[in-house]
């Protein structure tokens, strides 16, 4: 007869054994940490976002069709705009459908941060060269959203561009 294999039936002396209760505790602890972090992040998000995107949501919805009509009329004009940021200046260059500079426009604008309303600045542009309009801005850094309206020749052009100061 051949010898029968032996089985270990007890834990090594003085050693630690991983049991089903230990695994259950690890799994429950893991999910408890994930749930606690999710609750914390949701609380932070809820406290910092007021939930209000517009001060006048109903009026914005009613005016939607007229906004679309203005955008279509603007597209038919063929005007183009380019914006840039420089030291202490914001610049917008306006061109007509043939690429010629648009002179004599009245430009007004606003700078605001992409993610917050803090630091909003209203701008008044003046023509510094044919088709080039510049406005003085405070000492800025980082990314800003420039929205502007150019009026002239019986037309209006609305634009927005992201500009970055070093």
DSSP 59-108: HHHHTHHHHHHHHHHHHHHT-EEEEEEETTEEEEEEE-TTSPBPPS-EEE
DSSP annotation of 112 reads: E
The answer to whether residues 109 and 120 touch, using CB atoms and an 8 Å cutoff, is: no
The answer to whether residues 165 and 146 touch, using CB atoms and an 8 Å cutoff, is: no
Q: How confident is the model at residue 2 (pLDDT cuts 50, 70, 90)?
A: low
The answer to whether residues 135 and 126 touch, using CB atoms and an 8 Å cutoff, is: yes
Identify the three-state secondary structure at position 47.
helix
Selecting from 2.40.50.140, 3.40.1230.10, 3.40.50.1820, 2.60.40.1220, what CATH number does the domain 79-165 have?
Answer: 2.60.40.1220
Is the dihedral angle over the CA atoms 45, 47, 50, 51 positive or is it negative? positive
How distant is the alpha carbon of residue 38 from its chain centre?
23
Q: What is the pLDDT of residue 93?
A: 92
Q: Report d(CA 87, CA 102) in Å as an integer.
A: 24
Q: What is the pLDDT of residue 28?
A: 98
Is pTM beyond 0.75? Reply is no
Residue 53 scores a pLDDT above 80: no
Q: What is the pLDDT of residue 10?
A: 58
DSSP annotation of 46 reads: H
Q: Where are the domains of the chain?
A: 19-49, 79-165
Residue 60 scores a pLDDT above 90: no
Q: Report d(CA 115, CA 79) in Å as an integer.
A: 29
pLDDT digits (tens, 9 = 90+) for 101-113: 888 889 999 989 8
Q: What is the pLDDT of residue 27?
A: 98
């Amino acid at each position: 007869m051949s010898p029968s294999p032996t089985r270990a039936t007890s834990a090594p002396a003085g050693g630690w054994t991983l049991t089903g209760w230990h695994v259950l505790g690890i799994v429950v602890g893991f999910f408890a940490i994930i749930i606690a972090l999710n609750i914390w992040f949701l609380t932070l998000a809820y406290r910092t976002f007021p939930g209000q995107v517009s001060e006048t949501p109903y009026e914005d919805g009613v005016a939607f069709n007229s906004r679309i009509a203005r955008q279509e009329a603007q597209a038919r004009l063929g005007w183009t705009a380019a914006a840039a940021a420089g030291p202490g200046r914001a610049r917008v260059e306006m061109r007509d459908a043939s690429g010629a500079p648009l002179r004599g426009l009245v430009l007004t604008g606003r700078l605001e941060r992409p993610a917050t309303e803090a630091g909003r600045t209203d701008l008044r542009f003046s023509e510094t060269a044919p088709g080039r309009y510049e406005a003085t801005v405070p000492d800025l850094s980082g990314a800003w959203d420039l929205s502007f309206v150019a009026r002239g020749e019986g037309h209006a052009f609305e634009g927005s561009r992201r500009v970055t100061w070093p």
